[in-house]
Amino acid sequence: MGTRIIGTGSCLPATIVTNDDLAKIMDTSDEWISTRTGIRERHLVKEETTTSMSAEAARRAMENAGVTAEEIDLLIVGTLSADCVTPACACEVQAQIGAVNAVAFDINAACAGFMFALNIANAYLQTGIYKTGLILGAETLSKIMDWNDRSTCVLFGDGAGAAVVRAEEQAGLLAFDQGSDGVKGKVLACRNRSNNNPLMETSKELEYVHMDGQEVYKFAVTAVPHSLQKTIQAAGLTVEDIDYFALHQANIRILQSVAKRLKVSEDKFPISLDHCGNISAASVPILLDEMNRKGMLKAGMKIAMSGFGGGLTWASAVVEW
Ligand code: COA
């Protein structure tokens, strides 16, 4: 048994915030942001929530795959910004789309969340436990940004992406690599609520994302090419066999560096970060959906995917479309 991606979907909030819009509320500029990151605008939530965007992305993916909600028996959301501590975003999505036969749960692997969800679904599907998975990456990062910290808040956006995966005789997912390095976790972190027990001395400070941008950059440009090379080799392929590299959309300079290290043309690295920014777990599935809907993905093509970020975590996959 193999695992095949049979449909994709995505959903971005209606409100677009350009770099110039940000320059009106903080000391930054379109020039600084776009030259260092490639980001020109991002979508930020007003009314939308992590769950509402996920449910819409899920509906679009199911329609694209030609499956009904009742056929879904596994529903996983990769997120670090769910609306509730409990119930899980996946359970809320299950209720909204009517996936009554699914087991639903969230996982947190930050920007590698969708890729981790894909590998978890693959393990379930390959062992025959479940047959049709709906996997998502979804984030409302704008609510955990420190809007007084211009070095991080300009980088991120909100949105959700989804894919339907199915157990099939012919394998679509050819190889996988995953890893974590908790020792370096502090370079990209966001604490949860503080202790609010009235019997103890407590901090009432709100917690936001903190990032050591240069350390994260160094991690990404080393770990990602290594993980991709390992995965491509495990698939029995060479870098030249890969038609597209659908990577987490953190920063154009990271993508350019990965392309250079792999000795591959940057043309093989499609981007969505220019209009989406970094949407953590949602970046890879949104990019994949954009590629799918533009007709870029043809049967038999080999696509290498990779997610990397907080944890630290990373995961790569090679799929035959
Ligand atoms: N607008 C204008 N100036 C800004 C700014 C902003 N939004 N943010 C920071 N600056 C300033 C800094 O204050 C600093 O000023 P100083 O030299 O007077 O102190 C200057 O720009 C340079 O900052 P620095 O942090 O050295 O820039 P950099 O070249 O390292 O680029 C990042 C910063 C964040 C773009 C870069 O480190 C990066 O891309 N890292 C990876 C981050 C990432 O992708 N994270 C997510 C991974 S999942």
- What per-residue confidence (pLDDT) applies to 228? 98
Position 319 pLDDT exceeds 90: yes
* pLDDT per position as a tens digit, 118-163: 999 999 999 999 999 999 999 999 999 999 999 999 999 999 999 9
Measured from the CB, is residue 23 less than 6 Å from ligand 1? no
Span 260-288, pLDDT tens digits: 999 999 999 999 999 999 999 999 999 99
What residue segments make up the domains of the chain, in order of their start?
A: 2-170, 174-320
| Per-residue buried b or exposed e for 130-163, using 16+ beta carbons within 10 Å of the residue's own CB | bbbbbbbbbbbbbebbbeeebebbbbbbbbbbbb
Residue nearest (by alpha carbon) to ligand 1 atom 35: 36
- Among residues 19, 248, 251, 276, the one annotated as catalytic is 248
Q: How far are the Cα atoms of 149, 161, 276, 280 from residue 22, in angstroms, in the given order?
A: 12, 25, 14, 20
Report the pLDDT value the prediction gives residue 38, as an integer from 0 to 100: 97
In ligand 1, the atom with minimum distance to the C-alpha of 28 is 1
28 lines ligand 1 (CB under 6 A): yes
Q: In the chain, which ranges are E strands? A: 2-11, 15-18, 41-44, 74-78, 103-107, 132-140, 158-168, 173-180, 188-189, 210-211, 244-247, 302-309, 313-320
What are the tens digits of pLDDT across the range 27-49? 999 999 999 999 999 999 999 99
DSSP secondary structure, 254-316, as one string: HHHHHHHHHT--GGGS---HHHH-B-GGGHHHHHHHHHHHTT---TT-EEEEEEEETTTEEEE
Is 101 a known active-site residue?
Answer: no
Mean of the per-residue pLDDT values of the chain: 96
**CB distance 208 to ligand 1 below 6 Å:** no
Predicted confidence (pLDDT) at residue 205 exceeds the cutoff of 80: no
Is 248 a catalytic site residue?
yes
Ligand 1 pocket member 35 (CB < 6 A): no
- Selecting among 91, 111, 153, 190, the annotated active-site residue is 111
Strands 302-309 and 244-247: parallel
111 lines ligand 1 (CB under 6 A): yes
**281: amino acid identity, one letter:** A
In testing the pocket of ligand 1, which one of 210, 217, 252, 306 has its CB within 8 Å of the most ligand atoms?
Answer: 217
Over residues 166-185, mean pLDDT: 93
Determine contact, residues 185/311, Cβ cutoff 8 Å: yes
Q: How far is CA 83 from CA 86, 87, 212, in A?
A: 9, 9, 26
Q: Whose alpha carbon is nearest atom 15 of ligand 1?
A: 151
Cα angle 212, 50, 104 (rounded to 5 degrees) comes to: 105
DSSP strand pairing (41-44 vs 313-320): unpaired
For residue 47, give the nearest of 142, 114, 134 by alpha carbon: 142
216 lines ligand 1 (CB under 6 A): yes
Confidence of residue 200 (pLDDT cuts 50, 70, 90): confident
Half-sphere exposure of 100 (CA within 13 A, CB side): 2
Q: How far is the CA of 277 from the centre of ligand 1 (A)?
A: 15
Domain pair 2-170 / 174-320, same fold? yes
The CATH homologous superfamily for domain 174-320 is Thiolase/Chalcone synthase (3.40.47.10)
| Cβ(225) – ligand 1 distance below 6 Å | no
Instruction: Verify whether residue 148 is a known catalytic residue.
Output: no
| Ligand 1 centroid from CA 318, angstroms | 32
Polymer length in residues for the chain: 321
> Structurally, what CATH architecture does the domain formed by 2-170 represent?
3-Layer(aba) Sandwich (3.40)
